[in-house]
Structure 1
Amino acid sequence: MAKPQEEELTEKVDGFVTYLKQKNRLHSSYDVAKRTVLLMREICSKTKWASADELMYRMRVAGKKLVEAQPSENAVGNMVRRVLKITREEHASCIGESEDLDIKDSLHTLLHGEVDQSNFSKPVLNLKGSVIETMNELLDELEGGASNIASQALDHIHSSEVIMTAGYSKTVEAFLKAAARKRKFEVIVAESAPSYQGQELATKLAQDGIQTTVITDSAVFAIMSRVNKVIIGTHTVMADGGLKALNGAHQLALAAKHHSIPVLVCAALFKFSPEYLCSYDQDTFNKIVAPHDVLSFTDGEFVSKVHVQNPVFDFVPPDLITLFISNIGGSAPSYIYRLISDLYHADDKDL
C-alpha cells in the first residue's frame, strides 16, 4: 500500500535533517542547495494549501527545521529564502500587481510598522504552476552556476601569470581549467592542512596539463611576493561581503594584502547569504570537527590536559577581498548588499 504523499514528504525532510547532522562531513554547498530547492518544490506540489500565505508557512516550518539541524550550512536558509521570494513574486504576478512589491512593502512598513500580508491569504489561480516553473528555473541556475563563472575566466587570468589558491573548490577548478584552454599560467596551491584539500585540487589541475606546485600553509607568505593574483572559493558570502571560507583562507588573504595582491573569490549566487557574523555566535557560524587530524588519538595520553579545537572555517573580512565573481559577473564587496536585496525579501530574513 502506497504511503500518503505528506507522510512520504515528512520522511524526506527527516532524511535531509539526518544528512545535515553528519558533523564530521563537509557537505557540498551545491548539493545542499539543490536538495533544499527540490524539497521546497515537493512541498509546493505534494501538500495541500489554498493560498500563498499557507504555502510560505509550510516552507518556513520545513526550512526552520533544516536550518536548526545544521546552522553552519547557510545554503539551506539561502534557498528557503529564495523560494519564499519566488512565491511572493509569482503571487503578485498572478493577481496582476506591480513587480515593485518590495518597494510597496517597505513604504507600508515605514507608515504602519508592519507589512500588510492580507493579500497573500487570498486563493490565486495558477499559483502552483507558476511557483514550480520558477523553481525549475532556479534549479537550472544552480546547475549552470559553475560554468557561468568559468566563462569569465579569460577576463581575469592572463598568460604567464602566477595564480595562488588554497583548498579545493569545484568552481575554482572549473575557472582555472577554462582559462587554461587558451592561456599558459602557473598555479600554486596551499595544501590546506589538516584536510589537505589543496592536494586534491593540485592533482586535478596537473592532470589537465596545468603547471601546478603544492606548498605548505606556512610557506604562503614567503611565496606570495611572486604571485600575480589569488583566486579562492568560499563556503558562504556573508551580507557585509565577508567570507566564511575554508580554514587558512584568512592568512592567505592577509598575506595577499601585505603584498598588494588582488584577491578574487569565485562564488555562485546560492552562496550569498543575508546573514552577518556575530562575534558571540561562533557556534552557529563555524563547524568544529574531530581533532584527530590535528592531534592523533594515540597521542592523547601524553596531552590529556590539552583541549584541541579543529574548526573548519575562517572568517575573511570584506576589506581583504578585491572582487567577487558570480553567475552574473564581477562585484565589489561594497556591492554585495545590493545583490542580497535582489535575491531575498526583507521579511524572510528570520525564518
Structure 2
Amino acid sequence: MPAYGLSLLLSTDPAPSLLPCSADAVIRDRSKGGSCGRAVVGAPGDRRGSWEPSCLSGELMDLIRTEGQRMTAAQPSETTVGNMVRRVLKVIREEYGRLHGRSEESDQQESLHKLLTSGGLSEDFSTPYPPLRANVIEAINELLIELEGTTDNIAMQALEHIHSNEVIMTIGYSRTVEAFLKEAARKRKFQVIVAECAPFCQGHEMAVRLSKENIETTVMSDAAIFAVMSRVNKVIIGTKTILANGALIAVSGTHTLALAAKHHSTPLIVCAPMFKLSPQFPNEEDSFHKFVSPQEVLPFTEGEILAKINVHCPVFDYVPPELITLFISNIGGNAPSYIYRLMSELYHPDDYEL
C-alpha cells in the first residue's frame, strides 16, 4: 500500500513533504475514488512502528485532523479523502471508548439525539492506553478489507434488480456500474443503452467494455436521452459523491438523465460504495464546482468567436434526492431518506467538519 496520504497517522513527527505527495496522489486518483480512499486509510500500516504507545488519543486525532485538512485542500472536489479521514477518526474514538470502559450503547443512540447533543459534549481523550495502538491498527486493517470488497459486494446484488429482457440505461463510465452489469449478465440477458456523456465521451469506453462481455450495448448522444427514456425499464448510474441530504454530485449530464427518468416514472438506481457518502451539504458550493478546458466543446482554433464569448465546461452535475429511487451500496439498498442514518453509523458528528 502506498505510503502517502495519512502517512503521519501513527507518527508524531510532521513530514514537510506530505502536502505535495498527498496533492499529487489526490490529483492522480481523481477518477479512482476507491484507490484514493484505500491509500489514505492504508498508510497507517506503513508507519505503525513510529507511533509511541504513550501517544494520547486526543493528540493523535488532532494530528490526523490537521493532515486531513491539508489533503482535502489539495483537491476539494475529491471528497473521498475527507471521508476516509473521518472514518479513521471514528475508529480511534470507538477503540478508545472500549478501552475507557464506555459501553457501545452510546454509539447506537438515535441519530437525531446524537446530532442535538454532540455539540455540547466534549469527550476526554487524555488517558493513555498502551493497547490502543494495536487495536487501532487492527480496526484499520478491517476497514481496508471492507474497502477492497466494496465493488464485489455491490455487484453481488445485481440479480435482485436486473431481470431478463430489460432495457437498462446508464451514462458515462463507472467501474462500479460496469461490475454490476457484468455480474447480472452472467445469468440474465438484457440490453444496455449508454449515453456518451459529452464532451468527455466516457460512455464509449463503457460500451466497449460491456460489449466484450457479450452484452447488447448501444451508444447514443446525450440529446437523445429524453426520446429514448420511454423504452427504458431502469436507469443505473454511478456517482462521484453522495451528499448528506441524499443528493448526488455526478458526472455532467446526469441531472438531465434523472429528470427524464422522473418524467417517465423510470426507477433511477445509484450504485455507490459507502466511502462516497459525505457529510457535506450542497450549500458548500466551492467544494463541488469544477471546470475544465472547453477545448472539446469549442476548439481554440475558433479564435474569432472565443474573443467574444466566455465558455464554461463543468465536470459535475447536482442531482437532487427527489429524483433518486434507490441507493445500492456495499451494505445493501437504501432510500435517499435513509442517508442521515448511515451518516451517523459511519462518522462521528464532531468530525463532520475537519
Aligned amino acid, residue 274 of structure 2: L
Match of 1:311 among 295, 309, 314: 314
2:3 corresponds to which residue? none
* CA positional deviation for 1:292: 1.0
Rate the CA distance shift 1:256–1:163 in 2: closer, same or farther, 3 A. Answer: same
* CA positional deviation for 1:38: 2.1
Verify: 1:331 aligned to 2:331, yes or no: no
Aligned partners of 1:45 and 1:128 also within 8 Å: no
Aligned partners of 1:191 and 1:217 also within 8 Å: yes
TM-score w.r.t. structure 2 length?
Answer: 0.91
Counterpart CA distance in 2 for 1:262 and 1:111 is: 37
Match of 1:195 among 200, 205, 223: 200
1:36 corresponds to which residue? 40
Aligned partners of 2:111 and 2:341 also within 8 Å: no
| Aligned-partner SS, 1:59 | helix
Rate the CA distance shift 1:43–1:302 in 2: closer, same or farther, 3 A. Answer: same
| Aligned-partner SS, 1:324 | strand
Aligned partners of 1:244 and 1:316 also within 8 Å: yes
Rate the CA distance shift 1:21–1:123 in 2: closer, same or farther, 3 A. Answer: same
Superposition map of 1:133-282 within 5 A: 133-278=138-283, 281-282=284-285
Counterpart CA distance in 2 for 1:98 and 1:64 is: 30
1:56 corresponds to which residue? 61
* CA positional deviation for 1:40: 4.7
| Aligned-partner SS, 2:194 | strand
Verify: 1:91 aligned to 2:96, yes or no: yes
Q: CA RMSD in A?
A: 2.4
Aligned partners of 1:40 and 1:83 also within 8 Å: no
Provide Cα deviations, 1:66-112, integer angstroms capped at 9, x if missing partner: 11111111101110001000000011112332113345999799689
Aligned amino acid, residue 32 of structure 1: C
1:17 corresponds to which residue? 23
* CA positional deviation for 1:116: 2.6
Aligned amino acid, residue 260 of structure 1: S
Rate the CA distance shift 1:169–1:110 in 2: closer, same or farther, 3 A. Answer: closer
* CA positional deviation for 1:263: 0.2
Counterpart CA distance in 1 for 2:224 and 2:114 is: 55
Rate the CA distance shift 1:55–1:223 in 2: closer, same or farther, 3 A. Answer: same
**Structure 2: where are the runs of 5+ without partners?**
1-7
* CA positional deviation for 1:299: 1.4
| Aligned-partner SS, 2:120 | coil
1:341 corresponds to which residue? 344
Aligned residues: 343
Aligned amino acid, residue 248 of structure 1: G
1:290 corresponds to which residue? 293
1:302 corresponds to which residue? 305
Verify: 1:114 aligned to 2:120, yes or no: yes
Aligned partners of 1:233 and 1:245 also within 8 Å: yes
Provide Cα deviations, 1:166-192, integer angstroms capped at 9, x if missing partner: 010000000000000000000000000
Rate the CA distance shift 1:195–1:7 in 2: closer, same or farther, 3 A. Answer: farther
| Aligned-partner SS, 2:203 | helix
Aligned amino acid, residue 197 of structure 1: Q
Aligned amino acid, residue 184 of structure 1: K
